[in-house]
Structure formats: structure tokens, C-alpha cells
Structure 1
């Protein structure tokens, strides 16, 4: 079954002279998806972009992490593993090759997942290795993605009875 996605990219960087020369314009744009808030973007700060705005590299690694998270939560629920918190600090390595072309060479997802006491952590960890075969984004990238999960199991606090 095919799914169709749509977006509108609107360049916002015309300072008045358009692209009359290389430094005459800003590398900024808005992402507008119907019915959703507009996201203002810029290119990578290493290339003169606005560090306060999202860039394509930020968006790619964030999409990869979010897709992984959503599948993780799905598989955890199926396995009766209760996740109470999930956060990720993914990293990716990009290289600029001769001639100026760049690409990602790898990414590492570092989810910190809080689960209930008594959770089978080996089963919780094993879920990560199933996701790459189903995650829409992970299946679409051409660089290796690795996982370095951390599990948090809070200690029971309080007293029984009441």
C-alpha cells in the first residue's frame, strides 16, 4: 500500500536582490505542511546558516530517531514491557568529500528508556534490533545506524498498604 506525503518549501532568504551573487541571499526557508505549524529552517551553521533554526541534517537525524522511538514503543507494548519515559540524544557523522559534496556516514541512536521494576532488560534491549527492518526512515537511509540504549529502572519508593 502506497502512502503519499506532501510538503511546501518556501525560500525566505531573498534580501531584495535574489541570487544576484552568492552572498546576496540567505539560505533560509519555511516548511509548511497543510494543517501543521510552519517550521523555519536554515542551512548548517558550518555553512553560514542560522544556528537557531533547524537544518536538513537536524531534520534527518530527528526523523530517524523519532521513527525508531515510535516502533520501539509499539513493540514494547506488544511485549508487555511498560515504558514510562523515552528520550534520545542521537548523533550522526557527516563528511564533506573532495568537490564539496557531503553525506552522512553513520548514525548512533542513544535512547534512555525508563521501564518498570521487574522488566526483562534483555527483552527490552532486543527490541532495538528488530526496528531497522520496519522503520520507514531507517529503511530509507544508506548509512549504518547503530543503537546504544540505556535503561533506567526506578526503585520502588513508598510503602505498601494505606
Structure 2
């Protein structure tokens, strides 16, 4: 059964001249999905974007980590592993080729997971290797996704 997703991306960077020349406009936009808060975005700060706003690279990396987290929690629940905390600090590595075209070459998910005392950490760590087969986002990207989890009891 197909899943459909929709979004609206609205360019907000017209300073009054439109795209009359390269420096005449801002690379800002809003992401609007009905019934959800608007996300104000800009391009990568390395390209002159606003560092206080989300950029496409932030959004992709965050979506990848969030999808992984949701599947991890699902599998942990199925396996009887009690997770009481989960925080990820993913890192993406990109490269820029000739002409300025860029791409991600890999991502490293670095979740710190708090589990109930006495949890089998080998079993808890093994869950990460199953997720790539089912995570919608991980299955959609064309770069490797590595995992470097850490655990704590709590």
C-alpha cells in the first residue's frame, strides 16, 4: 500500500527584485505542512545562508536519525529491551565537486541510549544492524550510514 506525503515549500527570499541577478535575493524559504508549525529555512551557512535556520542538509540528517530512532524504539520494545532515554548527535560528511555540486558521502549516527539496569547491551547494540532494512529514510539515501551507539544504565 503506497504512503503519500506532502509539503509546501514557499520561497521567502524575494527582496523586491526577484531573481534579477544572483545577489538580488535571499536563499530562504518556509516549509509548511497543514496543521504543523512552519519551519523557517535557509541554505548552508558555507554558502551564505542564515546559520540560525535549518538547511536541507540539517533536515536530511535529522530525518535519517529520527527514522533510525523510531525503528530502534520499536525493535527494543519487541525484544523486551526497556529504553528510558535516547539522544542522537548524527554527523554527516559531504564533499563538493567541480562546479560546486555537493553530496553526502556518509552519515554516522551516534545515539546515546539509556536502558534499564541489567539490559543485555550486546542485544541492545545488535538492533542497530537490523534497522537499515526497514528505515524509510535510510533505504532512500545513496550513501552509507554508520552507527556508533553508546549506552548507559538508568
Give aligned pairs, total: 154
Q: Matched residues in 1 for 2:132 and 2:26: separation?
A: 36
Partner SS for 1:23: coil
Tell me which stretches of 4 or more aligned residues in structure 1 moved more than 3 Å: none
CA-CA distance at 1:153 after TM superposition: 1.1
CA-CA distance at 1:71 after TM superposition: 0.1
Structure 1 unpaired stretches of 5+ = 155-162
TM-score computed with the length of structure 1 as normaliser: 0.94
- Tell me the residue number matched to 2:131: 131
- Tell me the residue number matched to 2:107: 107
Partner SS for 1:94: strand
Larger Rg: 1
Q: Structure 1, residues 21-46: CA drift from partner, whole Å, max 9, x if none?
A: 00000000000011111000000000
Q: Superposition pairs for residues 1-162 of structure 1, below 5 Å? A: 1-154=1-154
- Tell me the residue number matched to 1:157: none
CA-CA distance at 1:100 after TM superposition: 1.1
CA-CA distance at 1:149 after TM superposition: 0.3
Structure 2 unpaired stretches of 5+ = none
Q: Matched residues in 2 for 1:140 and 1:108: separation?
A: 16
RMSD: 0.5
